[in-house]
Amino acid sequence: MQSSLTPRYLIIGVILAWAIWSLHPTWKYQKMSEDEKESLRTSGDLEKIESRIIRQGLDLKGGMYIVLEADIPTLMGNLADMRDERLDNVLQIAKEKSAAPDIDFFTVFEQEVNTNGLKLARYYHQYGASQKEIMSGLMEEADDAINRVLEILQNRVDQFGVAEPTIQKQGKHRIVVELAGIQDSDRARALLQSTALLEFYLVKNVGATNEMLAQLDDILRGTTGEEELVELIQSEKTKNISEPEIPETPEKKDDDGIKTVSELFGETDSDPTDTSNTASDIFTDNPLTGLLTAFSSDLGIQEKNAYAVRKLLDKPEVHSKLNNANGQFLFSHEPDLLQGSATQEKYYKFYYLEKTPELTGGVVEEARADLGTLGSGSAGQPVVSLTMNSDGARIWSRVTGANVGERISIVLDKKVHMAPSIREKIPSGRTQIEGFNSINEAKDIAIILRAGALPAPVNIIEERIVGPSLGADSIAQGTNAVIIGLVLVLFFMLIYYKASGTIADFALIWNILLVLAILASLEATLTLPGIAGLILTVGMSIDANVIIFERIREELRKGKTPKAAIQAGYSRALTTIIDANVTTVIAALVLYQFGTGPIKGFATVLFWGILISMFTAVYVTRTIFNTITSRKGVIALSI
């Protein structure tokens, strides 16, 4: 008999060894001090340990809770075949009126369209001929956009490495994101909000740039006074509240307390008595170009003047002029120091580009963050290497071949990252983006480009940081609940079933250890509902033993020997146990399939807890009983 039990003990021993091996990293991690963790983090070993521990959800570990709202008005503007001032005004009014959560944007938009006598077929003819068809098509596009945003955000967060994130719709146009254990909230926020719209625009030549700037100066000269320009510049200065304060010096002010342009920028080097050469005259005569300066081979804008330039470019008459010329002005993605300058002022580069992109990021097949290779202009600097699909490679080959010697800008989210010259035709469909501050920024951009661009911008309307102290309280309360429930069950089984209750208690402890080992091996996340599932598993596990023990008692009352009673008890109880547990397993699978976040955590623990309880209650306990009854002289059971 003992020899027949050897395979059973081998299986039990192997499973026990595996459980200990799986739980050892979690045990080791929980015993570490913060100094030890920091030391291992520096050496890179902490990441290996963390990959094998039982992860904790947002409700236990803390993290970020964010509510995002899709910018539907911007999406509607992007979907239009053509845009003009009338459509932009209607979209802006509808956006303002639908700011309240209980007001539907499309209802307000349709009302404004009717009020202004706008013919939607002029802007959205691809969705139908009648207004009803067009509105229906636009609403379908909005719903589809939200679903795509949901999928893209899921892909981004998965690649970002967050354990068991919760990403789900809330209402029509909102998305709730829960990120457990996030350390860098700014990085996560940027990852979620970035639309990742990658575009390649040809840069217009110097002659076209100078001509357009002169024409815009002519337009603005008659519409922008000195007071307005001063107000724009001072508005930007008030935004930079984080900049160090400059000691105040006595200065002359106008009667209304507003500085003149001369006072803001100082006099020129010309004769002070020649008032025609003052800074005031320069900016009055050249409202736009007066704010620009030479920046290497490009134009530059002092960081403190960027707001004023953006407001000037937003004027309707400037928009109209640029649209007619099929051009646009864009800034570099971040300000930089002017080379050779003795001051520490930062400048944005200022580019005049074609209005229509030659290529968009939809053709990107692979994006990889790396450091620039030796011999390149970006050696040792973070870059993102792009590989395009066949269509993209064909277009890229045509564009680069037809514009050798010209410059092409790489634009991400309407900010120019770089504008290199095309030296030769590029038939391979490969290129790279430079100009990142760190390898993490490059990695995030690569993640975003791989996951795809958001079809509509998303805005954060609510954000909460869940502190780890809440998680500590939850863990303590959950742990206490498990321990109290476990102790009560152990005592009950021991008192009611005597020595046989000890076997059931052993199987119950085994069950808990194996469930935790499964969670660690699957890199699953333990949430507060998951702890509830663990408590439920305790009850379900002991329930199987109660059914078996009662069957054995019945057989013993019939006068059967202990060995025959055990065999009959297990045989008759097995069908009942399987029926009861299979129905619970089905419920757990349904919860896992259709639930999200904490619900999935509960379903995971419940599913594995049920399966393991059947193993421990039927296989492990029977092996122990068989060992006991195999001894000679056993005539009674303590049950």
Same domain flag for 145 and 213? no
Same domain flag for 166 and 96? yes
- Per 3-state DSSP, the chain is made up of helix, strand and coil in percentages (nearest 5) of 60, 15, 25
Residue 351 clears pLDDT 50, i.e. is over it? yes
Same domain flag for 622 and 513? yes
Residue 538 clears pLDDT 70, i.e. is over it? yes
CA distance 287 to 283: 5
Mean pLDDT of 302-314: 83
Q: What local confidence, expressed as pLDDT, does residue 596 receive? A: 66
Same domain flag for 624 and 514? yes
Mean pLDDT of 336-360: 78
CA distance 103 to 216: 39
Per-residue pLDDT tens over the stretch 498-532? 889 999 998 888 888 999 999 888 877 777 788 88
Instruction: Look at residues 356, 355, 359, 420 and name the one whose alpha carbon lies nearest to residue 394.
Output: 359
**Kind plus residue range of the DSSP H or E element containing 443:** helix 439-451
Please state the φ and ψ torsions of residue 429, each to the nearest 5 degrees: 75, 25
Same domain flag for 150 and 77? yes
Give the SS3 label for residue 264.
helix
* Tokens encoding 79: 């979907």
Per-residue pLDDT tens over the stretch 37-73? 777 766 767 777 777 788 777 677 777 888 888 888 8
Which residue type, as a one-letter code, is found at position 406?
E
**Three-state SS annotation for 270-339:** CCCCCHHHCHHHHHHHCCCHHHEEEECCEEEEEHHHHHHHHHHHCCHHHHHHHHHCCEEEEEECCCEECC
Same domain flag for 500 and 607? yes
Token look-up 């030890």 returns 36
Q: Is residue 225 part of a domain?
A: yes
Residue 379 clears pLDDT 80, i.e. is over it? no
Same domain flag for 131 and 215? no
CB contact set of 249 (below 8 Å; sequence gap of 6+): none
Q: Which residue has the higher pLDDT, 177 or 478?
A: 177
Domain count, the chain: 3
Average pLDDT, the chain: 77
Task: Note if the pTM is more than 0.75.
Answer: no
Q: What local confidence, expressed as pLDDT, does residue 15 receive? A: 92
pLDDT band (50, 70, 90) for residue 417: confident
Per-residue pLDDT tens over the stretch 598-638? 787 788 889 999 999 888 888 889 898 888 888 766 667 78
Confirm if 455 and 149 have CB atoms less than 8 A apart: yes
Q: Is residue 112 part of a domain?
A: yes
Mean pLDDT of 576-598: 85
Q: Is residue 86 part of a domain?
A: yes
Range of the domain at 321: 204-240+260-357
C-alpha triplet 25, 27, 28: angle, nearest 5°: 60
Same domain flag for 491 and 545? yes
pLDDT band (50, 70, 90) for residue 184: low
CA distance 264 to 639: 94
Start-end of H helices in 32-104: 34-43, 45-50, 58-61, 72-79, 85-97
Same domain flag for 530 and 596? yes
Q: Is residue 167 part of a domain?
A: yes
Q: 375-386 burial by CB neighbour count: b if 16+ within 10 A, else e?
A: eeebeeebbbbb
Axis crossing angle, helix 598-614 with helix 468-521, rounded to the nearest 10: 40
Token look-up 């060995």 returns 563
Q: What local confidence, expressed as pLDDT, does residue 18 receive? A: 92
Q: Is residue 249 part of a domain?
A: no
Same domain flag for 162 and 268? no
Same domain flag for 481 and 621? yes
Mean pLDDT of 405-434: 80
Q: Which residue has the higher pLDDT, 329 or 276?
A: 329
Q: Is residue 592 part of a domain?
A: yes
Q: Look at residues 120, 150, 173 and tell me which one is the last residue of a structural domain.
A: 173
Confirm if 167 and 175 have CB atoms less than 8 A apart: yes
Q: Look at residues 357, 377, 407 and tell me which one is the last residue of a structural domain.
A: 357
Q: Is residue 353 part of a domain?
A: yes
Residue 549 clears pLDDT 60, i.e. is over it? yes
C-alpha triplet 333, 335, 340: angle, nearest 5°: 135
Confirm if 502 and 638 have CB atoms less than 8 A apart: no
pLDDT band (50, 70, 90) for residue 586: very high
Per-residue pLDDT tens over the stretch 101-149? 678 888 888 988 888 888 888 888 888 888 888 888 888 888 888 887 7
Q: Is residue 283 part of a domain?
A: yes
Residue 278 clears pLDDT 60, i.e. is over it? no
CA distance 149 to 69: 10
Q: Look at residues 322, 357, 392 and tell me which one is the last residue of a structural domain.
A: 357
CA distance 367 to 361: 10
Q: Give the burial class of 220: count Cβ atoms within 10 A of its Cβ; 0-12 exposed, 13-18 middle, 19 or more buried.
A: buried
Domain CATH for 10: 1.20.1640.10
CA distance 254 to 259: 6
Least-confidence region, from 27-36, 401-410, 550-559: 27-36
* Tokens encoding 158: 């998965």
CB contact set of 33 (below 8 Å; sequence gap of 6+): none
Per-residue pLDDT tens over the stretch 208-267? 888 888 888 888 876 665 555 555 555 554 444 333 333 333 343 344 443 333 343 333
Same domain flag for 490 and 539? yes
